[in-house]
Structure 1
Amino acid sequence: MADVEPKGVVLLDVLMNTFGHRCRIALAEKGVEYEFRVENLRDKSPLLLKSNPVHKRIPVLIHDGKPVCESPIIVQYIDEAWPHRAPLLPADPYARAQARFWADFVDKKFNECGSRLCDLKGEEQAAAKEEFIGILKLLEGELGDKKYFGGDAFGFVDIVLVPSVSWFYSYENCAGFRMEEAAPKLVAWGKRCMERESVAKTLSDPHKVYEFVDRLRKRSGVE
């Protein structure tokens, strides 16, 4: 089934993938029906290898036979390909640039440092925790007192960041701190986002995420 030439809209992904969750939330927000094809990352399908020959990774969105790769690009494509619903990116060019900047910050700073929190121990982890809390403060500064990062409307930066809410519990348990104490505004934002059906139906259970992280830590000798 996975190798059958796709028609309509198809998402190649795995169930517990924060990058793929972005795409699924965006599709849900736009009301787009699609086929979800679960990939076996140990034995990648010919369709995945054909659709993403450069990186050979998920997620990949295939729309009428044409593949789109990399989750931030996929979310922007979804916004432009289905303009009949509320936009995910602002219309103003400067505001769009700012949204792209903070989405890039999430990938290059937040996600990268969050991974190190779970991969390290001792002094190295302590340094990563200090850096991570600084990143949280920067995100809180951008969020301010707004409902969402773009204001009253749930949008691009929210979609890029919100899958990480499932990882808050893992960050706390791996690095020994409380997200609510370090970044109360960000935690409150995450709870608001979870009230949206598109988010609540997509995100992984935080405890299952931690079980997965704990297995990896034990396998790598961190624990």
Structure 2
Amino acid sequence: MPLTLYGHPFSSYTQKALIALYENGTPFEFRCISPEHPQHAAEWLQHWLLRKFPLLVDDGRDVAETSLIIEYLQLAHPGPVRLLPADAMAALGVRFMDRFFDLHVMLPVQDAVAAAITGNAAWRDDALAATVEKLDRAYDWLETRLAGKTWATGDDFTLADCAAAPALFYADWVQRIGERYPVLRAYRARLLARPSFARAVEEARPYRHLFPLGAPDRD
């Protein structure tokens, strides 16, 4: 049976998993979780009652949580692009950066989006202000951390970059990565030019109207 990935093209964490699959040309079937495909949602919930996506199904094995999905793919379906180094200490550095992008960039963005979806203007404004403050701190740290590096941890594209691509993509929509961050802006541009992420961005383009804070007319 082919690999099956349940998710939505506009979901940052679905994109993170898609990048890993596209990087290695791994064959899989994508099943979109949306009102247009109720059968996919029914199948998905049979596998994962916690209602989180993406979810990877591989011949009866259910793999949840995006970072673990990517590590699982490397173990069970390896390809030419190794997304986690063989060296344990180097792998620890990649995992740290993966966690940084998920917890300190993407999570604040999701907080702002979740508040905006409620329709409560006060909640939206408070959450957005908190998110902007957190993102500015993250941008300050990344501007120094990424100096002299092509990718998140050095010369090789890794799990950390799979996390960084959608995180920085959407973060820039919420709090623009300004001119004071030339290193971070250049890194985000390299991510957007990477064929695996460029493909994910194009596949999600029809859904931009769903972004509750207003998708900017760029990227």
Common fold, TM-score beyond 0.5?
A: yes
Matches within 5 A, 1:1-223: 7-40=1-34, 45-53=41-49, 55-118=50-113, 119=115, 120-121=124-125, 125-172=128-175, 178-203=176-201, 209=208, 212-214=211-213
Shift of 1:127: 4.5
In the alignment, the residues of structure 2 paired with residue 33 and residue 88 of structure 1 have an alpha-carbon distance, to the nearest angstrom, of: 17
In the alignment, the residues of structure 2 paired with residue 164 and residue 74 of structure 1 have an alpha-carbon distance, to the nearest angstrom, of: 17
Contact 2:6–2:32 (CA<8 Å) still a contact in 1?
A: yes
**Amino acid paired to 2:98:** A
- Decide whether aligned partners of structure 1 residues 9 and 207 sit closer, same or farther in structure 2, where only a CA change above 3 A counts: closer
Tell me how large the CA RMSD over aligned residues is.
Answer: 2.6
**Amino acid paired to 1:121:** D
- Decide whether aligned partners of structure 1 residues 121 and 150 sit closer, same or farther in structure 2, where only a CA change above 3 A counts: same
Calculate percent identity across the aligned residue pairs.
26
- Decide whether aligned partners of structure 1 residues 140 and 82 sit closer, same or farther in structure 2, where only a CA change above 3 A counts: farther
Shift of 1:34: 0.9
Contact 2:84–2:159 (CA<8 Å) still a contact in 1?
A: yes
> Could you tell me the TM-score, scaled by structure 1's length?
0.79
**Amino acid paired to 1:193:** L
> Could you tell me the TM-score, scaled by structure 2's length?
0.81
In the alignment, the residues of structure 1 paired with residue 102 and residue 171 of structure 2 have an alpha-carbon distance, to the nearest angstrom, of: 16
Q: Which runs of 5+ in 1 are unaligned?
A: 1-6, 173-177, 216-223
What's the CA shift string for 1:68-108, capped at 9, x where partnerless?
A: 11111111111222234121011211111121122112222
What's the CA shift string for 1:115-139, capped at 9, x where partnerless?
A: 34554326x6444323321111222
In the alignment, the residues of structure 2 paired with residue 210 and residue 38 of structure 1 have an alpha-carbon distance, to the nearest angstrom, of: 17
**Amino acid paired to 2:3:** V
What's the CA shift string for 1:162-189, capped at 9, x where partnerless?
A: 01243144213xxxxx413243212211
Structure 2 match to 1:175: none
Contact 1:167–1:206 (CA<8 Å) still a contact in 2?
A: no
**Amino acid paired to 2:182:** P
Contact 1:90–1:96 (CA<8 Å) still a contact in 2?
A: yes
Q: Which runs of 5+ in 2 are unaligned?
A: 116-123, 215-219
